[in-house]
Amino acid sequence: MISSLKPEVHSALKKQVIYTLLYFSLFWGAHLAIVSIVVFFHFMLDHNLNIIDSWIQEEAWKIIIISKLLAGFPILKFLVIYSDERYPIFSLLKKSLSSIRRETFVCIILLIVMPSVIHFSYISYAGPINFVKVFWPLVGTIVFYGVDFLIFFFMQAMMPLRTRQSLLIIVIFALASVFAHRLALSYAEYDSFLNFSFLSLLLYISIWRGLSWTDSVALLALVIAPIAVFLGVNPIESETSSLFVLENDFSSLSFLSVLFLLFSYLWWRGRQLDSRHK
């Protein structure tokens, strides 16, 4: 399929794959370097492995945030080289700013309502908690998905692809994310399926009927980050720091059903809008 593309599209797709692999390799390397430095100093203090493991798990969000920023910054600097603007990041964000589409609100409502209906009877209040611990999952989840999204978004803006190729790079990007995080976060309760699902949805909404970042940001701010805090549904933790506890975890089948409904709705709505413009 790739060999039949026009040269410029083929080149853009190839560059995006390279940037994707480079970004997640940098994340893995930065994370490994930070953990290695931490372990070295712990050994210097004669701490045993249990203490080291406990510290790393307790500070997991902070390590991930620093690793994401260290990996994302140089990649963004390379990507903006393709722009002629004086302030490329600000200019692109301004140009792609748009109102949140009704379809995005429908997706947000479905993501909130459907799992709540399925698991409402299994949700209980966790009681008084340390809100400092709630803060880090909130910020960490935003950075975890936000930096990935920014890299993808700028790749699409600087090296545009046709729809099918964009869908292909979404799959490649999400799979690379899962693989890199699976390697790096061996100490955490990393959820590959959750990461792949949420990231794919964020990326797809950003290119659905034109490149825009506002819909993905709304989804991240109104759904993904809040449930990380309120229900502990986030990529690396369980409900240990959440405000509420799910007595039964979300099943992959039920969550997959919700995602299938969302993508089906967006596909149907896109076909409907296309037919109106013919």
Q: Rounded to an integer, what is the distance from CA 58 to the centroid of its chain?
A: 21
Query: What share of the chain has pLDDT > 90, as a percent?
Result: 32
pLDDT at 122: 47
| CA nearest neighbour of 68 among 60, 58, 57, 78 | 60
Residue 251 is classified by DSSP as P
Torsion sign (Cα): 108, 110, 113, 116: negative
**pLDDT tens digit string along 40-84?**
888 888 778 888 888 888 888 899 999 999 999 999 988 888 777
Q: Which amino acid, residue 164?
A: R
Q: Which amino acid, residue 135?
A: F
Measured between alpha carbons, how far is 111 from 120 in angstroms, rounded to an integer? 14
Better pLDDT: 129 or 156? 156
Confidence of residue 97 (pLDDT cuts 50, 70, 90): confident
Count up the domains in the chain and report the number. 1
The mean pLDDT value for 119-130 works out to: 52
Better pLDDT: 5 or 1? 5
Domain span at 33? 2-276
Across the chain, what does the average pLDDT equal? 81
pLDDT at 174: 95
pLDDT at 85: 74
| pTM for this predicted structure | 0.86
